[in-house]
Amino acid sequence: MNLRADGFSSELLLIGDLLAGGVLLWRARKVAWLTLSQAQLTGWLGASTLLAVLWQLQTGIQPGLNFHLLGASALTLICGRDKALVGMAAVVLANCAAGQADWLAAGWNWLLGPCVGIVMADRILQLSQTRLPPNYFAYFFTNGFFGAAVSFIAAALCLLGFHALAGSYAPSYLLDEALPYYLLFSWSEAFTSGLIIAVLVIYRPQWVESFDDRRYLSK
């Protein structure tokens, strides 16, 4: 899910970098960094580092149309929306440093992929907390599995839509050749995210900010 700079104008890429920088600065200032506990820092830094490694395991069918685990939903559940946005920005930059993506396209890569996935995962979490019973299995399946798949698909649709609007690939090609792969890969995203959250909730629940023992295990 890494855009390449080839095929896009420098003006469009610059707009993406400026927009991403503004959004990132806005959300980063919402985090009380100096008051974070050791558990919160450990969960955030550990999950972000793991995702930076997992992003290196990728394949693709065309430049800018590659596949790798996104991890936006899992990181959102672990550390919350705003810290997840900052962590994913570091992951995108690490991916560029490793030569897997172009620096000029880093802004759009963050906005169309992780940013969309994180916002979607956070929204699903809010809905599950207000509409579903406070049950461990409701939390686990709705957010760990379903939320991960939906956030991945949402990010994939934004990426494909960007390609279509920019004219880098024909819409018919994106729908027929690329979209089916992304839909299939969403199952891998759901399974991996669900497994990570399940293991952390069992062995290190203090690292998962969205999980509250008193809410989900009190009954």
- Residue at 149 is within a domain: yes
Find tokens 């009380």 and name the residue. Answer: 32
Task: Please give the full DSSP string across 96-139, using - where no structure is assigned.
Answer: HHTTSS-GGGHHHHHIIIIIHHHHHHHHHHHHHHHHS-S-HHHH
**pLDDT confidence of residue 218:** 64
pTM of the model: 0.94
Sign of CA dihedral 132, 138, 143, 145: negative
- Residue at 179 is within a domain: yes
Q: What 3-state DSSP class applies to 181?
A: helix
Tally of domains in the chain? 1
How does pLDDT run across 26-67, given as a tens digit for each residue?
A: 999 999 999 999 999 999 999 999 999 999 988 878 877 888
- Residue at 5 is within a domain: no
- Cα 155 to Cα 98: distance, rounded to the nearest angstrom: 22
How does pLDDT run across 194-216, given as a tens digit for each residue?
A: 999 999 998 999 999 999 877 77
- Determine the structural domain holding residue 61 and report its residue range: 10-216
Strands (DSSP E) along the chain, which ranges? Answer: 59-62, 65-67
- Residue at 3 is within a domain: no
- Residue at 1 is within a domain: no
- Residue at 2 is within a domain: no
Q: Mean pLDDT throughout 134-159?
A: 92
Mean pLDDT, rounded, of the chain: 92
CATH at residue 88 = 1.10.1760.20
